[in-house]
Amino acid sequence: MDIRLGNGYDVHAFEDGDHVILCGIKIPHSAKLKGHSDADVAMHAITDALYGAVAQGDIGRHFPPSDPQWKGAASDIFLKHAVALVRDMGFDISNIDCTIVCERPKIGPHAEAMQRQLADIMALDSSRISVKATTSERLGFTGREEGIASIATAALVKP
């Protein structure tokens, strides 16, 4: 049996706007996340964790931000690509663990919807996906509410 673990980390700053997109869910907020795509920091971390587990680089390698076709793209495109690549290499996704680091918006009320959305995108049972949040106790850029960070771990198995 081949077992692989991958980690992903992403950060996006806030800019003027009225919502953020996290794990594919639109959440009302006093700002939006700045990025070349839809800036879904959590989905980007999960995508990079999958790529990392199979030693296939990161989102930027597969979807360069210098390529205008990805401007404003929905991040599920990236995640679906990573999932397909993992499966094409003969791996099953055992589980995903994602932590979102921010003071606001509050993630708890949306975590279940995020979990279901990710399960649908990855064709997994939602019991294999964890979405949770923490604050940074008002320290650093997330504590000053300048942006959001996310870290994710993916566990893959090949029988």
pLDDT at 8: 98
pLDDT at 65: 87
Residues 80, 50 contacting (CB under 8 angstroms): no
- Helix ranges (H only) for the chain are 41-53, 59-62, 76-88, 111-122, 140-143
* Residue pLDDT, tens place only, 118-152: 999 999 999 999 999 999 999 999 999 999 999 99
Average pLDDT over residues 85-89: 98
Cis check for the bond before 65: say yes or no (omega within 30 of 0): no
- pLDDT category at 159 given cuts 50, 70, 90 is confident
Residue 159 has a CB neighbour count (10 Å cut-off) of: 7
pLDDT at 108: 95
* Residue pLDDT, tens place only, 3-62: 999 999 999 999 999 999 999 999 999 999 999 899 999 999 999 999 999 999 999 999
> Is 72 a residue whose pLDDT tops 90?
no
Which domains are delineated in the chain?
Answer: 2-158 (3.30.1330.50)
Residues 20, 31 contacting (CB under 8 angstroms): yes
* Residue pLDDT, tens place only, 92-111: 999 999 999 999 999 999 99
Core vs surface per residue 119-145: b (16+ CB within 10 A) or e: bebbebebebbbbebeeeeeeeebeee
pLDDT at 110: 97
